[in-house]
Structures are given as structure tokens and as C-alpha cells.
Structure 1
């Protein structure tokens, strides 16, 4: 992917937070302070057999509220801003990973790309009385968007034209940001890739049960335990939670309803969405990443993603938003996974080196990835500029009929 005529600045600290505490945005003339460059401590991601190993050598640590910015220029051009929230089931990943390098998207679309770290797993979503109220990762995302609003003009971006885009857990995060009053006005458009499905949040009572299970596993005060002890207890809690719930692979720590900043899911939905532009979509074989390849992946994907996302689109429109849906049908040659979860990511972000050897890309030559990537980056970039979707007939992608048209 081309990285010409862009400036990438990373890492940048956007906030600070103590363990199990809410974040506080960095203040100062340019919003910057010394950055650790750390990403949130985490266990290995469950989709490495599909995506491959991430090649970025990043230090894990709790001082992890960092982001990267890629821009065509530090000038006064006030370009559209695209803020990316990564996936990983709220338990793994980082915006600073090379998979999420926004250089090509920035250069080709003339946008400023921001990729965000946020707290994960026990550090971001533990719900345990007297220790953590949960949803700290969502608070981190709100602070990152506040930081962008306050500081992105210094990087050639327009603080009043922000598109937030995310994949999987990042898309679920966007769905929840639509509910949070403090996030209202921090973005004008949204692109939700492969999420949310039917399960958006976990009830508080259930989350507290998982929290107590974790407290038993760690065997000491989580506020003073070592990072290694917390991760080890997270691992054993995940196994116990899977056995108890029957939900194999389901993350033990997840966004929680019934607590700040999501006291009642749906309470602020309509009032926050007026005049918002939204794209939400899925990949044709999305679930193959979790179930393995099989003849039923299209039907299961339809049930678990296409149906709830289409219903969600209708809710968006009823609430005053402009919304449409897509389905990506690209099945890389030689890939046993087909149009699986995450397969669109190499088309949008990262570099050839970052994605080289990814199993989900099969035998596809990088020239094909680059050709299709240019088309998808053009669609996403144009949307960030105008709110208009312009499908490309050369891209294997189906769009819902309710597509916004040029005025």
C-alpha cells in the first residue's frame, strides 16, 4: 500500500488512568505528553489462526492510553478525520498494531486517520463491587474522541467532521457510543464493520457474577495484584465462564448495561442519532472465523449478523439517522475461510508486510489486495468527506437499496 505524502505520528498519549479508574484527558497546548507506547496487557487473541500473527513488537503495560495519527500534512486544510476502533472481543488488540496503520487510507482519501488503544479484558471491563464498575474501555474511547475534538486541528484535521469506524468489538463500541450522552457530538458519521450482532451488552447482574468468579481466581486484591496475576486469573475465569455458560470462546469481560456510562440501553438512542450518517455491514462468511469453514457459514452469518444489522439499520432510520447496509463477498483465492471475519481489514488498513502470510488471505496476490483495497478505501474516504456512498461495480460488495445519493 502506498504511504506517500503522509506523516505518521505515534505513539501519542491521549489520557491517563490509574488501575480500575476512569481516564483523564491530557491537557496542554497540543494535548500531548510523554507517551509510553504501551498497549493494554492481554492474552493472545483467539483469531490468530485466521488473521495470522501480528508482527508489531509492542510493550504491554497499563500506561496504554495511546493512539497514532496519520495525516497528509500538519497544516490548516481541515481534512475529514477517521477514528478507528479495533476489534478483539474487548480482550485483545491495539490501535498501535501495524495491522491498523492508516497510511494508505490517509494518502489516497485525503483524510486524517487516528487509531486508538483502549483498555481491554479485566483492565477495561471488570465489574466487581468496590473494585471496578465496568465499561472503563468505553470511557477510554470517549476520552480519545474528546482528545481528537480538542487537538486534531493541529494535525490537519477538521474537529467538526469526524467519522468513527470500527470492526467487530470496535463496531460494537460504536453502537454503544451512540447510547452515551457524553459521546454525543463527538462524531458525525459511523462505519460499523461486522458488528454488532444480537448480543451487544452483558446484564450487570451477570457481569458481577463473572467479576466474583474472577476475584476467587485471583485470590488477592485485584487493585494491588501483579499484571501477570490478573492475566492468569482472566485466563482461568474465561475457562470457568465457558464451562458455566456453555458459550465456548465468549469473552469473560464485556461491556455492561445498567451501569455508567450505559445506565439503560436505549435511553438516549434516538436523541443522540439525529442527522448521523451510518454504514453498517458484514462479510458473507463472517462466522467461519469462529466455527471453521463449512457449508452453513452463509446461513449462520445471515442469522447472526445480516438480520440484526438490517433491523438495526431500520432503527437508525426511524431515529432520524441516514443509514445503509453492505455485504462484502470477497473470497480470496485459496482461503479456506472465504469472506470471513476481518477479511476487509487488509483492504483498508495496514501494509503488505503487516498482512503477509495471513491465512485468511489464502493464495491471493498482493496486487489483488491492493486493487480491491483502493476501491474500498475510496468508498470509505468519500463517505468521510461527504456522507455519500458511491459503490464500485468492480468490488464484490452488495449494498442495501437505501443508499444515500448525491444532492
Structure 2
């Protein structure tokens, strides 16, 4: 996207990696003319979001990002540069890509005078397989860390301030951010965090469970006569689908994907992390959508009404995390989104906030979760939400949240102390 007021640079190849190998950063980046995305099957949320209208090629050369910035850049001056918001997309660690038009940061950059970076990384088995002699797992997290290092080293050239970086992400992207909040290797690479609807209970699976899943995956590939190191992308995706079905049948968990971050594996040395060992707790804005779980079928381990399942999966774990961060002195702000677009059968569902922050009218055209709303109605609310997100990125305070965002929890340890009677 390029207009008189904003430029979307890229796709930029920020790193390269052989299959099941750690990424190697490309200094300065390289143009990635076709903007390939990681091999993936259609998203399980296509019925809710609609499938993406843009269909980039799929290949393992997928470590690409885009940078969207206002054209009147303060490039080269890290002290006067704009706040940087780095987007990590959702998709259950198995679908999506930062280069998709859903995640165009043009409106956010233009309206709020910020720099927006959107990151792609390896997904599914390519990003998270644990199998002896093949892969130790968490390669997708390493890809995202490589992107953050690239941003730190290069974003001043795009008018951004490497000393003021906010990570914002939804669902799986928010889970990755939660893990980076406690990862020593991420320290200093970002300064604030926005978590949108992360199902924290599946942030990182035990290493023993990941190894068992890896063996199931290898068995399914063997039935296809393939080896994970040399198999075609089509065979990898077929084995991944069979693995997901088998793991779901064994566990009764319909929410967790078969492949995702693994605890006790670099860069997550101790599961979701021990905040006592991480003094650089960032400012946090967190929240969920009132009907998040309307996007997902009931499972044997997660039954009940949409409200009950949403509370168990999102509200209660996020509230616990917020309280923990406040105890460690973090500046914490919480929200609940109650926006239910008219004509949508899903209500305030998972992903419904995305068009309020990112993307173009064409990218979100005919999205089922938006019901029969016209884009000007979506954009009217989106302007207010984008202003709150940018205010948080700039100062650590989103300010008064616009309806239908509802403030939840106390705003900060500092305010709580001020409110305590002496």
C-alpha cells in the first residue's frame, strides 16, 4: 500500500533459514518480491473471518515483514523517531502471515503518526515440530525474535524509534508475546505489550507432550513414504492434518493446535516464565472479546455456554496474569470488547477487533463476523480504538477506552497505591 501520506515497504526478507534450522538475520533486509507465506492449510476460522482475499504464494522462504510509515519520516534519528508497533498475527501457530492485507497498518500509521511492522514466521510442524535428530522446536518463536532484532537494528531508517517498541498481537500472536515477556533473549527488544485474546492455558505445552506429538507426525509421514527433512510441503500439511485429528481425539482439546510453543526449550527455558527473574516487565494492555469462544466448537475439555467458555479460557487467566504483573510493579490496563456487529451470528467473537486496528476495506469485505455493517461504520469505531492503542504505545496509557471497549481491572500498581487509604 502506498499513498501520499503513508508507505508500506516490503515484503522485506528479514532472515533466512533452512528447514528445521535456526534463522539467520539478513542485515538491512532484502526485497522479497513475491512475499511468500509459510505453507499452510485453510484456517479453521475461515467461517468466522472469511478466507483472505489475497493469496500469496506459499513456500519455506517466508521470513518476511512489512513496514508501514508516514511519508514525512524522521529517519535516522532514534531519539525523535516515531513509536513502533510490531504486529504478531494469530492463527493457532498454523495459519496466517504478516504480509496479508488483513494486517495492513496504513490507517493506524497515518492517523496516529506511528510506524507499524507486521511479521511473518514459520508455522505448524515447520515452526514447532519436536523430533529427535530433526528439530528441537520453537523455530517460529526464534523467527519472531529475529524479526525483533531486525527491527531494533533497522527501524530508525524508517522513522521509527528502536527505544520505543510495542508488541501487539492477537490469539497465537499474543501468546508469543506473553512468552517473550519472560524470555531473557527478548529483553530490551520491546518496551510495551498488547495482548488481544490470548488463550493463556495453551501458551506452551510440556516437552514430553510435544515429543509425543512429533512421533505421531513422523509416523503419519512415514505412511506417506516421506521423511520430515525432505518431504514436500503437501505431504507435511497432510501429516499435520492427520496429527491434529489424532491429538484432538486423544486429548479432547478442540482449542489447542497440534504444534505450538514448547516449554523448557530455548527461548523458553522455564515454561511461561518466572516473572521474578525478569525485572524488565513491560507496560501491558490486555483484553478479550465478550464472545471469544463463539468461534470455536465445544470440546470434551471445554464445554458450556459461550459466556462460560470465554470466561474460563480468556477472562480468568488474563485477570490472574494482570494481578501478577501489578504485584511486580507493572503498569497494567485491561479491556473487554462488547462489540456485536448487527447481522453477525458470532457476536463479539474471536478476531472481531482486527478490522478496528488493521487492514483495508477490500481485505475485510464480506467478512461474516462483521455482519451487515458498512465499512464507514467499522472505520468510525476503528479510529477510536486505533487512537487508544497508539496512545498506549506512545505513553504506556491508552487513556479512557472508547465504547464498546469496557475497562476491566485497575490501571496500574501506582494508581492502586494512590487509592489505598493510609
TM bucket (normalised to shorter chain) is: over 0.9
| 1:58-137 paired onto structure 2 within 5 Å | 58-73=56-71, 74-76=73-75, 77-137=80-140
- Superposed CA offset, 1:324-365 (max 9, x none): 211000000111100000000000000111001000001112
Q: Determine helix, strand or coil for the equivalent of 1:68.
A: strand
Return closer, same or farther for 1:81/1:7 CA change in 2, 3 Å cut-off. Answer: same
Higher mean displacement: 242-251 or 83-92: 242-251
Q: Determine helix, strand or coil for the equivalent of 1:237.
A: helix
Q: Determine helix, strand or coil for the equivalent of 1:356.
A: coil
Q: CA deviation at 1:401?
A: 4.3
The match for 2:15 is: 15
Using the alignment, how far apart are the partners of 1:361 and 1:328 within structure 2? 14
Using the alignment, how far apart are the partners of 1:40 and 1:259 within structure 2? 22
The match for 2:162 is: 159
- Superposed CA offset, 1:256-278 (max 9, x none): 11211112125553343535100
The match for 1:335 is: 344
Return closer, same or farther for 1:299/1:243 CA change in 2, 3 Å cut-off. Answer: closer
Return closer, same or farther for 1:223/1:300 CA change in 2, 3 Å cut-off. Answer: same
1:255 is the counterpart of 2:261: yes
Q: 2:404 aligns with which of 396, 399, 405?
A: 396
Higher mean displacement: 217-226 or 1-10: 1-10
Q: CA deviation at 1:295?
A: 9.0
The match for 1:380 is: 389
Alpha carbons 1:3, 1:103 under 8 Å: kept = no
The match for 2:26 is: 26
Return closer, same or farther for 1:232/1:291 CA change in 2, 3 Å cut-off. Answer: closer
Using the alignment, how far apart are the partners of 1:85 and 1:141 within structure 2? 8
Higher mean displacement: 336-345 or 271-280: 271-280
- Superposed CA offset, 1:266-294 (max 9, x none): 555334353510011000000001138x9
Q: 2:231 aligns with which of 222, 225, 230?
A: 225
- Superposed CA offset, 1:66-120 (max 9, x none): 0001001343350000000000000000000000000000001110000000110
Alpha carbons 1:11, 1:67 under 8 Å: kept = yes
Q: CA deviation at 1:391?
A: 1.9
Q: 1:241 aligns with which of 247, 252, 263?
A: 247
Using the alignment, how far apart are the partners of 2:189 and 2:212 within structure 1? 33
Q: Determine helix, strand or coil for the equivalent of 2:58.
A: coil
Using the alignment, how far apart are the partners of 2:160 and 2:365 within structure 1? 31
- Superposed CA offset, 1:225-282 (max 9, x none): 1111111111111111112222235311111112111121255533435351001100
Using the alignment, how far apart are the partners of 1:177 and 1:96 within structure 2? 22
Q: 1:53 aligns with which of 51, 54, 58?
A: 51
The match for 1:5 is: 5
Unmatched runs of 5 consecutive residues or more in structure 1: none
The match for 1:283 is: 289
Using the alignment, how far apart are the partners of 2:199 and 2:42 within structure 1? 22
The match for 1:349 is: 358
Q: 2:36 aligns with which of 34, 38, 42?
A: 38
Return closer, same or farther for 1:26/1:268 CA change in 2, 3 Å cut-off. Answer: farther
Using the alignment, how far apart are the partners of 1:60 and 1:301 within structure 2? 33
Alpha carbons 1:169, 1:195 under 8 Å: kept = yes
Alpha carbons 2:281, 2:325 under 8 Å: kept = no
Alpha carbons 1:175, 1:196 under 8 Å: kept = no
Alpha carbons 2:105, 2:116 under 8 Å: kept = yes
Q: CA deviation at 1:4?
A: 5.5
The match for 2:171 is: 168
The match for 1:314 is: 323
Using the alignment, how far apart are the partners of 1:325 and 1:196 within structure 2? 15
Alpha carbons 1:23, 1:143 under 8 Å: kept = yes
Query: How much is the aligned-residue C-alpha RMSD, in angstroms?
Result: 2.0
Using the alignment, how far apart are the partners of 1:362 and 1:34 within structure 2? 37
Q: CA deviation at 1:166?
A: 0.1
Alpha carbons 2:179, 2:273 under 8 Å: kept = no
Alpha carbons 2:181, 2:282 under 8 Å: kept = no
Using the alignment, how far apart are the partners of 1:70 and 1:115 within structure 2? 8
